[in-house]
Amino acid sequence: MSANRANAPYYFVPAPSRHPILASIGLLGFGGGMAGWVNGASWGPWAVLFGVAWLLFTLYHWFGDAISESEGGQYSQRVDVSYRWSMSWFIFSEVMFFAAFFGALFYARQLAMPWLGDLNNKLLWPDFAANWPHAGPGGVIEKFTAMTPWPLPTINTALLLTSGVTLTYAHHALRDGHRQKVIWGMFLTVALGALFIGCQAYEYIHAYHELNLKLSSGIYGSTFFMLTGFHGFHVTMGVIMLTVALIRVIRGHFTAEHHFAFEGAAWYWHFVDVVWLGLYVVVYWL
């Protein structure tokens, strides 16, 4: 244990902070803006932009305070354990979040679709065909083409899996005290994550303009964009977290024994990788 941590208080309790209420304002702007955006409100995109900018501004100062406390030797082993439990529960909540959307997709495909297509519902839906992907009753929703796993989803899978390897390489290098190798491993991980986001943005443009696949394209379109869109958002957050960790490594933060901020970002990134593998199989292949 470093000298700073050895002299840390029994359990550091920070002073009252303005950051939680400021962050909630940004999240409110983002959530309200997204609701307005998908319903065609002209102010929706601007509210989303405000919410994201406000939240990033708040997190910059919030993380800065936590980093200063950590580098100032305020965090003991007990605080480290608290951070680990907090990150573990946060990732568990994210697992439940995606489980809900995977459950909605399962219900629509495996339960609701066969039920609507059985003999008891022929009087209500005489022209209904219980096939997936499905766009709803004929003539109500514009025709679209379903997304295939090749080439962009497969390329994105390779990018994320490779990023998991480079991140693991950086983690082992940090534990061995090879800071330059950590920097290169982290840089490659961030670059691969950014490339994934770019490929997904291109995939969405292709879906909208060439496949006519939109959020309004029946149950298939809504589940496709909700699952892949929220995953893309999580990848974006992961890239931001890893970028902060990379900057801290460059500035000389972290030691071989004390680097939970790095580990927490790595846990989150590996979680994002696993979720994508589920999406790749369930959404694109099945």
Could you report the per-residue pLDDT of 211-245, keeping only the tens digit for each?
999 988 888 999 999 999 999 999 999 999 999 99
**Residue length of the chain:** 286
Can you tell me whether residue 20 is helix, strand or coil? helix
Q: Which residue type sits at 49? A: L
pLDDT score, position 1: 45
Per-residue pLDDT of the chain (286 residues; tens, 9 = 90+): 454 565 667 888 888 999 999 999 999 999 999 999 999 999 999 999 999 999 989 988 998 999 999 888 888 888 999 999 999 999 999 999 999 999 999 999 999 888 877 767 777 777 777 788 876 666 577 889 999 999 999 999 999 999 999 999 999 999 999 999 999 999 999 999 999 999 999 999 999 999 999 988 888 999 999 999 999 999 999 999 999 999 999 999 999 988 999 999 999 999 999 999 999 999 999 8
pLDDT score, position 124: 74
What DSSP designation does 13 have?
-
Closest by CA position to 134, among listed 245, 31, 221, 62: 221
- Give the whole-angstrom CA distance, residue 15 versus residue 184: 37
- Give the whole-angstrom CA distance, residue 51 versus residue 36: 13
Scored b (16 or more CB within 10 A) or e, 102-128 reads bebbeebbeeebeebbeeeeeeeeeeb
CA-to-CA dists, residue 200 to 57, 179, 184, 229, 231, angstroms: 26, 32, 24, 9, 10
Could you report the per-residue pLDDT of 167-213, keeping only the tens digit for each?
999 999 999 999 999 999 999 999 999 999 999 999 999 999 999 99
Query: Tokens standing for 283?
Result: 């959404």
Radius of gyration of the chain (CA): 22
- Dihedral angle over CA of 72, 76, 80, 86, nearest 10: -90
Query: Tokens standing for 221?
Result: 């379109």
pLDDT score, position 123: 75
pLDDT score, position 77: 86
- Furthest-apart CA pair in the chain: how many Å? 77
3-state per-residue secondary structure call for 152-183: HHHHHHHHHHHHHHHHHHHHHHHHCCCHHHHH
Query: Tokens standing for 215?
Result: 């959020």
Residue 239's CB is within 10 A of a number of other CB atoms, namely 22
pTM of the shown model:
0.87
Angle between helices 152-175 and 179-209 (to 10 degrees): 160
Which residues have a Cβ under 8 Å from the Cβ of 17 and sit 6 or more positions away? 62, 65
Query: Tokens standing for 142?
Result: 């514009």
